[in-house]
Chains A and B, each alone.
Chain A
Amino acid sequence: EAQVTQNPRYLITVTGKKLTVTCSQNMNHEYMSWYRQDPGLGLRQIYYSMNVEVTDKGDVPEGYKVSRKEKRNFPLILESPSPNQTSLYFCASSPQGVSGQPQHFGDGTRLSIL
């Protein structure tokens, strides 16, 4: 089954404790992206990657890091989480160069930073 898998689905942690949210897709997509969703703000892009070893900032990259060492994986790293990073996070992927292809989203990761 074609899917984007995020882990964990839920996490409660404390300020300053490094955490990683993993994202893996099995559709051989070149493009991957991270979004955060906050009430009243919709989804906003954090980082994106066009292919292995190619990443770039989205609209709200502060406090986050990403890496793309393999095509299927695109982890989101919070080196020193703070309460304002409490949010619902989505990883998404799509093929490159096909305009009508939707982005496939993972089921989301709900992070609470105390």
Chain B
Amino acid sequence: AQKITQTQPGMFVQEKEAVTLDCTYDTSDPSYGLFWYKQPSSGEMIFLIYQGSYDQQNATEGRYSLNFQKARKSANLVISASQLGDSAMYFCAMREASNSGGSNYKLTFGKGTLLTVNP
């Protein structure tokens, strides 16, 4: 079974509107972290936002917020007021505390969602 599932290969949104990118995860580890990264066409990986499994509140960073529903094992990224520069591939990733006895901070990535912002 996939550990990170991003069901939307591609999404379109109008400039200035909000968009939600879906991410579900699968783990039996009680301690884990969820990350979202943005990859523009130039290729670099840009960290956007983090949510810890024990965090009580949903994470927010500027126009990015994370809709964390622990019981459903979902961690959707919400981008408010979309801009043309938001057009990119978006990856959800998970780090499980138990990896290699806690010594491997490996990120397990989903396959990504390609977001296109239309003017």
Contacts and interface: CB of A to CB of B under 8 A. Distances in A.
Interface of A: 31, 33, 35, 40-45, 48, 50, 56, 58-59, 88, 90, 92, 94, 96, 99-100, 102-108, 110
Given A42-B112, A43-B91, A102 B47 contact: yes
Contact of B104 (A44, A56, A104): A56
B45 A31 contact: no
5 contacts: A40-B111, A43-B109, A58-B104, A88-B43, A102-B47
A58 B43 CA distance: 22
Give the most central of B47, B52, B106: most A CB within 10 Å.
B106
Interface in B7-40: 31, 33, 35, 37
Interface of B: 4, 31, 33, 35, 37, 42-45, 47, 50, 52, 91, 93, 95, 97, 100, 103-107, 109-112
B106 A45 contact: yes
B105 A48 contact: yes
A31 B105 contact: yes
Main DSSP-derived SS at the A contact region: strand
B75 to A, nearest CB: 14
Given A48-B104, A94-B105, A104 B47 contact: yes
B52 A100 contact: yes
Contacts of B100: 56
A34 to B, nearest CB: 11
Name the residue among A33, A45, A59, A104 with the largest chain B CB count within 10 angstroms: A45
Given A43-B93, A45-B104, A45-B107, 12 more contacts: A40-B111, A58-B106, A90-B45, A99-B97, A100-B50, A100-B52, A102-B47, A103-B35, A103-B47, A103-B107, A105-B44, A105-B47
